[in-house]
Every structure is written in C-alpha cells, then in structure tokens.
Amino acid sequence: MQANLNDRVYIVTGGSRGFGIAIAAALVQHGARVGLVSRNASALEAAVARLGADRAFAVGMDVSERADIARAFTRIKEHFGRLDGLINNAGLARPGAVENLDAADVQAQVGTNLLGTVYCCQAAIPLLRGGDNPRIVNISSASAYHMDEMAHLSIYAATKAAVERFSRDLRRELQGDAIGVTILRPGAAATEFAAGWDPSRFEPALKAWIDQGRLMDIGMDAAHVGATVAYCLCCPPGVSIDLLEVRPFHQMPKPDPATLMAQHGG
C-alpha cells in the first residue's frame, strides 16, 4: 500500500514525545494533519512548532480524565473541519515487583493505558461515524505478549493486553459503521519511555531484565513505529490490519545496569 494521507486529519494521544511525536511526524510527512493531545503543555508547543502550525493543532488534556476528552476532540475536528481517525498512543509505565507495587502507580497505569483508550474511543466514535474510511489504531506493546521485554512491568503489560482484547470487541462493534480498528504492537525502541522512573524501582527491574538473558534486540527507533502507523491507515475501505507487531531483530549484549541507569538519569 502506498501511504497517501493527503489532508486527512488524525488525533494522536500522547502526541508530544516518544512514539507520539514520531507518529505525528510520519502522518504529516504523508500529507495528513494532526491533532495532538498530551498533559505536557510545553512539549505540545514544541511539537506544533516542529510539525508546523498549518499541519498540527494541540490541546492539553489528560486521557484518564473522561470529561475533558470529548471537548478536546471536538475542538480538533472543528479546527480542521474533519476527523478521519484516532491513534491511541498515550501510555504510562511504572516499574515495580508485584509484591511491592505502589497503589497509586497501579491506578495511574490502568487509568492512562486502559481507561484512557476506552474513553478516547468513546469520544471519537460519534465524530468518525459517517466519515470517509475512518480508522482507530490502538497502540499496544510487545510486553503484552513477549516475556523478553523489560522486567517488572506487569501492570503496564497487563493493561496493554487488555487494550488488545478491548480492541477485538471494538472492531466487531464498529463494522456496521465502517470504522476500521487496528492493534499495533511495537517492541523496544529508543525513546523517553523510562524518563522519570523511580531509580529505586528501575534498578531492580534492569537487573531482573538482564537476568532473563544476555542478549537484547536492537535496530528500531520511534520513526519506524510512525511509518507503520501510516501504513495501517492506508488500507482501502472495508479492509483493516487487525494486529500488526513490529520489533527489532538485530542482537547485541545487554549493557550493565549502571550504564543504563546513567542514560536515564538514575
């Protein structure tokens, strides 16, 4: 499929950094316009400056706050005059061994990763209904299926597995509205994913991950995920990619925990 998204409009949640800004950049590259939502106002401003104000429009909001989502999505549709799809990318991970899971961290991950996806789909469906080849892409994670991803992310992985199961029902429910639903399951890539993690929890998670095996897969960055989303959006009406996994496959020895901690500010 040739990626041609000229003047189509997509909302990207968590669109200010990491996979989100990479997805938005790929869509803009292929001619689309993007509505970016995120909690980080300064990062959103920088994202719009990078993408161009004629191509990007930002609204600050928290996807776990249901009351704000419909208003934000409506603003984006009104700004561009149309809405063709939603990419549910916003995600939050907090490492922790199961025995020591922090209740607030558990609730934050469930609220952002699972409930945020549900709430955003609910807000988007009436805005997409009746459109020209509308799409929803829900970003999962390889950690929902593979055991060789980062350790001590049981809640994050569980929420992403729940997103996949939710998406399967969503696909069937939206068939009558001709809204395509795709699950995209990316593997590890160089992003700010671990920024802000508590070092006292991050270091044990790194050690447990290294104990899983001496090799790690490398070779993918956020731009590859962005390009894959663009590919998923280009299916013709009546066709969708149900589930697509994209992972790196070159292998190298894992670095020592101290090096990784230093890279992430620990």
Q: In which band, very low, low, confident or very high, does the pLDDT at 58 lie, cut at 50, 70 and 90?
A: very high
DSSP class of residue 221? B
How high is the pLDDT of residue 119? 98
DSSP lists the bridge partners of residue 12 as 36, 87
How high is the pLDDT of residue 76? 98
Q: What integer best gives the mean pLDDT of the chain?
A: 91
Q: Are 235 and 195 in contact (CB under 8 A)?
A: no
- Kindly tell me if the per-residue pLDDT of 106 is higher than 80: yes
C-alpha torsion 63→64→66→67, nearest 10:
-80
Range scoring the smallest mean pLDDT among 19-23, 123-127, 164-168, 250-254: 250-254
Segment 96-117 shows an average pLDDT of: 96
Note the pLDDT tens digit of each residue in 158-204.
999 999 999 999 999 999 999 999 999 999 886 666 666 777 787 88
Of residues 92 and 217, more confidently modeled: 92
Measured on CA atoms in the order 67, 71, 74, 79, is the torsion positive or negative?
negative
Q: In which band, very low, low, confident or very high, does the pLDDT at 24 lie, cut at 50, 70 and 90?
A: very high
DSSP lists the bridge partners of residue 60 as 38
Q: What superfamily would CATH give domain 9-263?
A: NAD(P)-binding Rossmann-like Domain (3.40.50.720)
Q: Is 18 left (phi over 0), alpha (psi -120 to 50) or beta?
A: left
How high is the pLDDT of residue 261? 61
**Residue spans of alpha helices (H) in the chain:** 18-29, 41-51, 66-80, 103-109, 116-128, 154-173, 199-211, 222-233, 257-263
Q: In which band, very low, low, confident or very high, does the pLDDT at 51 lie, cut at 50, 70 and 90?
A: very high
Q: Which of 2-16, 67-81, 245-259 has the highest mean pLDDT?
A: 67-81
Residues marked active site are found at: 140, 156, 160
How far from 216 is each of 17, 209, 211, 262, CA to CA, in Å? Answer: 24, 10, 11, 18
- Kindly tell me if the per-residue pLDDT of 260 is higher than 80: no
Percent of the chain having pLDDT more than 70? 92
